Amino acid sequence: MKAILNGAIVAESDKTVVVEGNHYFPPDSIKAEHFSETESHTVCHWKGIASYYDVQADGVVKHDAAWTYHEPSKLAEGIKDYVAFYKHLVEVRK
């Protein structure tokens, strides 16, 4: 799977985990130079507190376009620090 913004591959892995229709990319598959953690957080009733990233490529910045769970609940331990993307902001495909 690939996450693509403005033609740039910002994440790529054949070991994503699909949760609720979203591909979560392993931490080592993320190209860090495209990510800036923001102050945004939301709460999922079963996964825990999500932290957000701005994703940028070639001058295009998508605010809070990706999220992760740094300290997930026990039910979501398998996606700790994995990163998912809002599909309307970052293209996710094979």
Averages of pLDDT over each 10 residues, the chain, 94 residues: 98 98 98 98 98 97 98 97 98 98
What's the predicted TM-score (pTM) here? 0.96
pLDDT computed for residue 27 by the predictor: 98
Q: Residue 75: phi, psi to the nearest 5?
A: -65, -25
Domains of the chain in sequence order: 2-93 (2.170.150.40)
Q: Which residues pair with 69 in a beta bridge?
A: 80
pLDDT at 85: 98
CA end-to-end span of the chain, whole Å? Answer: 4
In this predicted structure, what is the pLDDT of residue 72? 98
